[in-house]
């Protein structure tokens, strides 16, 4: 891991972004903002899932009119996403929004941008300048558009990255001339490699905090691969101050996957159980896939970061489960449960789920009382004796 790059720090309704602040998780509502009840309900769901900041779309005046009520009920800071009408930004600022997002491809008039900057300065509100592949090419000036398209056709990947960074550079001159620096940047594409190149370039050129994201990622099944490939690469290189993973799905999934990504890199502390499981293979003699799915649902009720391992055999399982607070090694008809390296009980297959859950609940309670500490990858598990099959034969000798 490359150390986090230091950037200018901004304050979004009490959530710090940049500097030495933790990487913040963002998402966006999929409701019509003017539908206050549905919007607030989704914001609360996102916050419960671990979201630090939530963005809402404000394409219409009725959306900004709903903001005061939404802000009053929101447990986290709210960002207004402004696309084509600068007036929506001014209305959102008057409503008390915590941050504004402007797109240089849509709001270009210098006087309009000046007014938004002035209003944000008066209220201490930061601005995200977000460029993306879908709007960075000129739309109104036909000659400029033709020239840009011709340039892009010569070397699409490199030229697009150059166009995105140049667009930011030009737009930021307005902010510099207004002596306004509470800004963060984003450079999004549907292509993971372009996202990596664009943010690498921006991290070298600007000292402003970066909002990481891959746009139009698709459904979670494919979008999480594209997102992890690009955002994970950047985070490992120390680039990125806030993250939004985008899916064509319930935005709660965005938050769940962003949390897991940050936890994997040690950029966020776990606050819920961590579940690991061995890959399925020919040694497994129970329905491990179902057991893991059921355990995952059970663990959702626990709010302590217990590390839980579900292993389908006693051959490689003990080594793969090193560091687990609670582990089960399953064989035909039976399972052996360990708690921090100590064997606690052997149960029948139909008892595995409830027995493992009971051990997890009990261990979490002891952690909360200060009686024990979480393993922090230090637990050593002595392999249990092989579990016999129903006919009494031994499946495999334990590898030591």
Q: Are residues 258 and 280 in the same domain?
A: no
Ramachandran region of residue 181, left (φ > 0), alpha (ψ -120 to 50) or beta?
alpha
Would the pTM of this model clear 0.85, i.e. be above it? yes
pLDDT for residue 377: 61
State the alpha helices, DSSP H only, in 248-385. 252-264, 288-299, 317-320, 352-368
pLDDT for residue 398: 38
Confidence of residue 361 (pLDDT cuts 50, 70, 90): very high
Cα 136-139-142 angle, rounded to 5 deg = 125
pLDDT for residue 25: 98
pLDDT for residue 330: 85
Confidence of residue 399 (pLDDT cuts 50, 70, 90): very low
Whether the CA torsion 373, 374, 378, 379 is positive or negative: it is positive
Percent of the chain with pLDDT over 70: 91
Flag whether pLDDT at 7 surpasses 70: yes
Confidence of residue 320 (pLDDT cuts 50, 70, 90): low
Nearest Cα residue to 15 out of 243, 204, 259, 195: 243
Flag whether pLDDT at 68 surpasses 70: yes
Q: Are residues 348 and 242 in the same domain?
A: no
Flag whether pLDDT at 10 surpasses 90: yes
In a domain, 122, yes or no: yes
Contact between 199 and 164 (Cβ < 8 Å): no
pLDDT for residue 385: 62
Structural Rg of the chain based on CA atoms: 25
Q: Are residues 329 and 255 in the same domain?
A: no
The lowest-confidence range among 220-229, 331-340, 379-388 is 379-388
Percent of the chain with pLDDT over 90: 64
Flag whether pLDDT at 94 surpasses 70: yes
Q: Are residues 341 and 229 in the same domain?
A: no
In a domain, 390, yes or no: no
Contact between 48 and 256 (Cβ < 8 Å): no
In a domain, 383, yes or no: no
pLDDT in tens, 139-155: 667 787 787 777 777 78
In a domain, 387, yes or no: no
Contact between 228 and 220 (Cβ < 8 Å): no
Flag whether pLDDT at 232 surpasses 80: yes
Q: What is the mean pLDDT of the chain?
A: 89
Q: Which domain holds residue 324?
A: 274-368
pLDDT for residue 400: 32
Total structural domains within the chain? 2
pLDDT in tens, 175-191: 999 999 999 999 999 99
pLDDT in tens, 112-127: 999 999 999 999 999 9
Q: Are residues 333 and 245 in the same domain?
A: no
Q: How many residues in the chain?
A: 400
Q: Are residues 256 and 322 in the same domain?
A: no
User: Which of 207, 236, 264 finishes a domain?
Assistant: 264
Q: Are residues 158 and 300 in the same domain?
A: no
The lowest-confidence range among 117-121, 284-288, 360-364 is 284-288
Q: Are residues 251 and 313 in the same domain?
A: no
User: Which of 223, 242, 264 finishes a domain?
Assistant: 264
Measured distance CA(195)–CA(214) in Å, rounded: 7
Q: Are residues 175 and 318 in the same domain?
A: no
pLDDT for residue 306: 94
In a domain, 120, yes or no: yes
Q: Are residues 201 and 341 in the same domain?
A: no
Residue 73, CA atoms < 13 Å, CB-side half-sphere? 15
pLDDT for residue 397: 40
Residue 384: both structure tokens together = 């249990």
In a domain, 314, yes or no: yes
Contact between 99 and 127 (Cβ < 8 Å): yes
* CATH code at position 339: 3.30.413.10
The lowest-confidence range among 29-33, 97-101, 141-145 is 141-145
* Alpha carbon distance, N-terminus to C-terminus of the chain: 32
Measured distance CA(177)–CA(181) in Å, rounded: 10
Contact between 326 and 337 (Cβ < 8 Å): yes
Q: Are residues 212 and 358 in the same domain?
A: no
pLDDT for residue 314: 65
- Cross-strand pairs, 54: 27, 78
pLDDT for residue 383: 61
Measured distance CA(281)–CA(169) in Å, rounded: 53
Cα 266-268-273 angle, rounded to 5 deg = 95
Q: Are residues 249 and 282 in the same domain?
A: no
* CATH code at position 248: 3.20.20.20
In a domain, 386, yes or no: no
- Name the residue with tokens 């064997």: 343
Cα 318-360-376 angle, rounded to 5 deg = 60
pLDDT for residue 147: 79
335 phi/psi in degrees, rounded to 5 = -140, 145
| Cα–Cα distance list, 248 to 99, 218, 221, 223 (Å) | 24, 5, 10, 8
User: Which of 241, 264, 287 finishes a domain?
Assistant: 264
In a domain, 394, yes or no: no
Flag whether pLDDT at 362 surpasses 90: yes
Nearest Cα residue to 70 out of 39, 49, 98: 39
pLDDT for residue 396: 45
């Amino acid at each position: 891991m490359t150390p986090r790059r230091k950037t200018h720090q901004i304050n979004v309704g009490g959530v710090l972004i940049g500097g030495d602040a933790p990487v913040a998780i963002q998402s966006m509502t999929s409701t019509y903002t003017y539908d206050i009840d549905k919007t607030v309900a989704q914001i609360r769901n996102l916050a419960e899932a671990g979201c630090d900041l939530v963005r809402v779309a404000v394409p219409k005046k009725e959306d900004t009119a709903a903001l005061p009520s939404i802000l009053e009920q929101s447990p986290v800071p709210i960002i207004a996403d402004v696309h084509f009408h600068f007036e929506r930004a001014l209305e959102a600022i008057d409503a008390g929004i915590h941050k504004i997002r402007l797109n240089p491809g849509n709001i270009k008039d210098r006087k309009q941008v000046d007014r938004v900057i002035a209003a944000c300065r008066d209220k201490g509100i930061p601005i995200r300048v977000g460029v993306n592949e879908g709007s960075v090419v000129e739309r109104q000036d036909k000659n400029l558009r033709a020239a840009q398209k011709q340039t892009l056709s010569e070397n699409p990947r490199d030229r697009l990255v150059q166009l995105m960074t140049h667009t930011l550079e030009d737009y930021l001159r307005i902010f510099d001339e207004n002596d306004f620096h509470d800004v963060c940047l984003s450079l999004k594409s549907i292509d993971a490699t372009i996202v990596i190149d664009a943010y690498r370039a921006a991290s070298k050129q600007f000292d402003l905090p970066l909002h990481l994201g891959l746009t139009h990622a698709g459904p979670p099944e494919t979008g999480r691969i594209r997102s992890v490939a690009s955002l994970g690469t950047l985070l490992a290189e120390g680039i990125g101050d806030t993250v939004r993973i985008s899916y064509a799905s319930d935005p709660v999934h965005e938050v769940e996957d962003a949390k897991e990504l940050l936890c994997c890199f040690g950029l966020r502390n776990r606050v819920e159980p961590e579940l690991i499981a061995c890959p399925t293979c020919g040694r497994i003699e129970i329905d491990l896939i179902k057991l893991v799915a059921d355990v995952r649902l059970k663990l959702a009720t626990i709010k302590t970061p217990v590390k839980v391992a579900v292993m389908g055999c006693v051959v490689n399982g003990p080594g793969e489960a090193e560091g687990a607070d609670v582990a089960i090694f399953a064989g035909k008809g039976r399972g052996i449960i360990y708690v921090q390296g100590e064997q606690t009980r052997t149960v029948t297959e139909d008892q595995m789920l409830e027995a493992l859950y009971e051990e997890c609940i009990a261990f979490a309670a002891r952690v909360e009382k200060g009686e024990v500490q979480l393993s922090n990858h230090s637990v050593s598990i002595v392999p249990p004796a092989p579990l016999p099959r129903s006919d009494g034969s031994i499946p495999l000798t334990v590898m030591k």
